[in-house]
């Protein structure tokens, strides 16, 4: 009994920790169910097929595999052949992580594990960003220790010391911003869909969120001047930056990993974080070595991508995208994109469509309400430095994707190319809800006339009535009481939005994901149930589109040495060559749901 009480003690002291554990476990369970029941744990896009293929190659401890002799019978759009080598067209970061799941015969498990960890990191970011009173970047910069100390001493009495802990009882809801952000992420359709797939977005989201955590500790737990009270006497102590380089390395490594997973994510995040750090350096809050350590740790990770292409193709600047579409490049011009690409197209078509999808489908709320609360911290003039950083991340990702012609698709209404800004969308939205609630709760009430002793027209002040004076809050009106019920009205509105998403928006989206592009596991199930004698060759008939052969292709070993080899029917001559190539295997034909032996079977079959 004693041990049980001890083990529960941390949860009793920190109920938000218990809530976060529930959110993370729920996320893993839901994603596992969606992955199995909706996505059937098979690829449903050309991207996923290529990622899984390359992950299998890495799982065999190879960088690429030889192009098969009859490559047209084993073709998938984004798996390319170059100089006798076959590999996926994408950077190596995500396939390498995915290969860990392939080794466990559970590729889906990688995203299902990273997703709840990412939610926990987002919750921790909310705790770090908003569980303390931080100034805005508009606070005057300090460029010397003497000036910093003088400013800190002068600001202490006014409660303006940078990132000082919030007093007890102050800022109801502020301490739970991270927890509520994680909860909102759990019911975001795009988060559920991408986490249940084999796409790379969940991994890049994990890396950029980890980088933000490292950035916080890099800038807040540094060698800075702090004020401490010891023996009832205020004195100044300097804490040497012993751990600053550790957090710089963590941030740089995470950004580098994001780059080799999704290059635009790494560039967009690096741009926003770089501007943020340069601003702090100019203000005298951190030193140049912090940025140097970040670059030194990040660049070797970034270099893994050109090193990989050099090892596979002999060219470190190789662009495998061009092997699929010769126009698949960055920039603007008549030869960029299938129909040319101009700056006007980028802004007024491509970006406009992404932002429209974002505003109408981010959280699955009705209409254009998805971005309703995001600007409130800035409109209410209560944005701290971290709010500005989060806004900068959103703008940076929007900016860098202007230079790429492709729309990128959307999952559950969330544009994929902006998915790495999910922590910013979640935290700013919950922050906006919390600030809006504070504003509504502090709307002044008209003072009522007293009954009895006071004459007509007289009013009692709060001091005369003995009411406690409300705690002043920036950008909030003070005096006259408050309408706390308006705060709960706002909470009720948000609950209605979430209920709308879960009951009305999400079910049809889930139904549309099942069997997406006509890809199902039926073909594989038929072969599995038949219990074919191994080794076997299964020729898939009536392949008219890449999606007709997607599931069988993904089931193959990259080196075509698995117990069952699936091949696409490319005509009688190709079929005959296939049978000669795999003459030691029994031959079968799969047409729809009918599985039968090949005609004119050789005697050895």
pLDDT digits 0-9 by tens, 463-479: 443 444 444 444 444 44
Q: Residue 576 has what pLDDT?
A: 93
- Separation of alpha carbons 199 and 412, rounded Å: 14
Range of the domain at 527: 522-597
Q: Residues 191, 117: contact at Cβ < 8 Å?
A: no
Q: Is residue 445 part of a domain?
A: no
> What's the rounded Cα separation, in Å, for the pair 298 and 302?
6
Which position has the higher pLDDT, 146 or 354? 354
The predicted-structure confidence for 117-151, as pLDDT tens digits, reads as follows 999 999 999 999 997 655 555 555 544 444 444 44
- Proportion of the chain above pLDDT 90, given as a percent: 70
> Predicted confidence band at 244 (pLDDT cuts at 50, 70, 90)?
confident
Q: What pLDDT sits at residue 12?
A: 53
Residues 581, 574: Cα–Cα separation, whole Å: 10
Sorting pLDDT into bands at 50, 70 and 90, what band is 161? Answer: very low
Structure-model confidence comparison of residues 150 and 103, the more confident one:
103
Asked if residue 546 is part of any domain, the answer here is: yes
Give the model's pLDDT for residue 481: 46
In a domain, 554, yes or no: yes
Residue 537 lies in a domain: yes
The arrangement of strands across the sheet holding 79-82 comes to 65-66, 85-88, 79-82
Q: Minimum mean pLDDT among 11-20, 397-406, 456-465, 575-584: which range?
A: 456-465
Assess if residue 563 is contained within a domain: yes
545 occurs within a structural domain: yes
Residues 6 or more apart from 48 whose CB is under 8 A from it?
Answer: 197, 198, 199, 554
Evaluate whether residue 577 is within a structural domain: yes
- Residue 534 CB: number of other CB atoms within 10 A? 10
Give the strands of the sheet with 586-591, arranged side by side. 564-568, 536-540, 586-591, 594-597
Q: Is 595 helix (H, G, I), strand (E, B) or coil?
A: strand
How many residues appear in the chain?
605
Peptide bond into 535 cis (omega under 30): yes
Q: How confident is the model at residue 340 (pLDDT cuts 50, 70, 90)?
A: very high
When divided into structural domains, the chain yields a total of 1
234 in any annotated domain? no
pTM, to two decimals: 0.86
Q: What is the mean pLDDT of the chain?
A: 84
Least confident of 164-173, 283-292, 490-499, 513-522: 164-173
Digit-coded pLDDT (tens) for 284-326: 888 888 889 999 999 999 999 999 999 999 999 999 999 999 9
Q: At what angle do helices 15-37 and 2-13 cross, to 10 degrees?
A: 90
> For 244-267, what is the mean pLDDT?
95
pLDDT for res 442: 78
Write out pLDDT tens, residues 529-585.
Answer: 999 998 999 999 999 999 999 999 999 999 999 999 999 999 999 999 999 999 999
Q: Which residues contact 193 (CB under 8 A, 6 or more apart)?
A: 34, 411, 412, 509, 513
Longest dimension (CA), the chain: 114
Q: Please tell me whether residue 262 adopts helix, strand or coil conformation.
A: coil
pLDDT in tens, 381-390: 999 999 999 9
**469-493 burial string, b = 16+ CB within 10 Å, else e?**
ebeebeebeeeeebeeebbeebeee
């Amino acid at each position: 009994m004693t041990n049980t009480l001890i083990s529960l003690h941390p949860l009793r002291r920190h109920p938000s920790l218990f809530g976060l554990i529930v959110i993370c476990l729920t996320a893993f369970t839901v994603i596992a169910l969606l992955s199995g029941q909706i996505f059937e744990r098979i690829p449903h896009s050309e991207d996923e097929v290529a990622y899984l293929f390359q992950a299998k190659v890495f799982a065999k401890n190879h960088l690429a595999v030889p192009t098969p002799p009859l490559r047209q019978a084993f073709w998938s759009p984004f798996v390319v052949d170059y100089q006798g080598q076959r590999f996926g067209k994408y950077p190596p970061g995500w396939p390498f992580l995915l290969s860990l799941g392939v080794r466990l015969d559970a590729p889906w498990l990688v995203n299902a594990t990273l997703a709840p960890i990412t939610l926990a990191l987002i919750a921790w970011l909310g705790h770090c960003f908003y569980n303390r009173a931080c100034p805005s970047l508009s606070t005057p910069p300090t460029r010397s220790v003497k000036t910093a100390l003088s400013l800190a001493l002068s600001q202490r009495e006014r409660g303006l010391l940078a990132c000082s802990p919030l007093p007890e009882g102050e800022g109801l809801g502020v301490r739970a911003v991270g927890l509520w952000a994680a909860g909102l992420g759990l019911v975001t359709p795009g988060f559920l869909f991408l986490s249940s797939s084999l796409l790379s977005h969940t991994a890049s989201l994990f890396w950029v969120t980890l980088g933000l955590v490292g950035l916080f500790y890099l800038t807040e737990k540094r060698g800075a001047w702090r004020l401490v009270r010891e023996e009832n006497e205020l004195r100044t102590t300097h804490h040497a930056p012993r751990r600053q380089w550790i957090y710089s390395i963590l941030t740089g490594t995470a950004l580098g990993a994001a780059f080799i997973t999704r290059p635009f994510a790494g560039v967009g995040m690096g741009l926003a974080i770089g501007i943020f750090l340069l601003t702090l350096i100019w203000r005298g809050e951190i030193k140049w070595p912090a940025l140097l350590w970040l670059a030194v740790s990040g660049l070797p990770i970034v270099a893994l991508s050109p090193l990989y292409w050099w090892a596979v193709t002999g060219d470190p600047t190789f662009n495998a995208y061009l092997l699929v579409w010769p126009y698949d490049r960055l920039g603007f011009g008549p030869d960029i994109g299938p129909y040319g690409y101009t700056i006007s197209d980028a802004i007024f078509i491509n970006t406009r469509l992404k932002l429209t999808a974002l505003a109408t489908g981010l959280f699955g709320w009705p209409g254009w309400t998805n971005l309703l609360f995001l600007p409130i911290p800035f409109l209410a003039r209560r944005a701290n430095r971290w709010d500005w950083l989060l806004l900068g991340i959103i703008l940076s990702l929007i900016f860098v994707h202007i230079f790429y012609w492709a729309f990128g698709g959307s999952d559950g209404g969330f544009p994929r190319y902006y998915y790495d800004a999910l922590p910013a969308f979640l935290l700013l939205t919950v922050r906006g809800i919390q600030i809006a609630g504070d504003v509504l709760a502090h709307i002044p009430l008209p003072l009522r006339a007293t009954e009895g002793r006071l004459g007509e027209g007289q009013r009692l002040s709060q001091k005369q009535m003995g009411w406690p004076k409300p705690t002043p809050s920036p950008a909030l009106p003070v005096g006259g009481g408050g309408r706390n019920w308006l705060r709960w009205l706002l909470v009720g509105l948000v609950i209605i939005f979430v209920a709308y998403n879960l009951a009305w928006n999400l079910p049809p989206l889930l139904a549309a994901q099942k069997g997406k592009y006509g890809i199902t596991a039926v073909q594989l199930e038929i072969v599995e149930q038949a219990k074919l004698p191994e080794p076997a060759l299964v020729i898939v008939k009536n392949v008219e589109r890449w999606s007709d052969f997607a599931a069988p292709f993904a089931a193959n070993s990259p080196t075509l040495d698995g117990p069952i080899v699936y091949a696409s029917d490319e005509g009688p001559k190709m079929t005959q060559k296939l049978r000669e190539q795999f003459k030691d295997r029994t031959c079968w034909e799969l047409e729809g749901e009918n599985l039968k032996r090949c005609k004119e079977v050789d005697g050895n079959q």
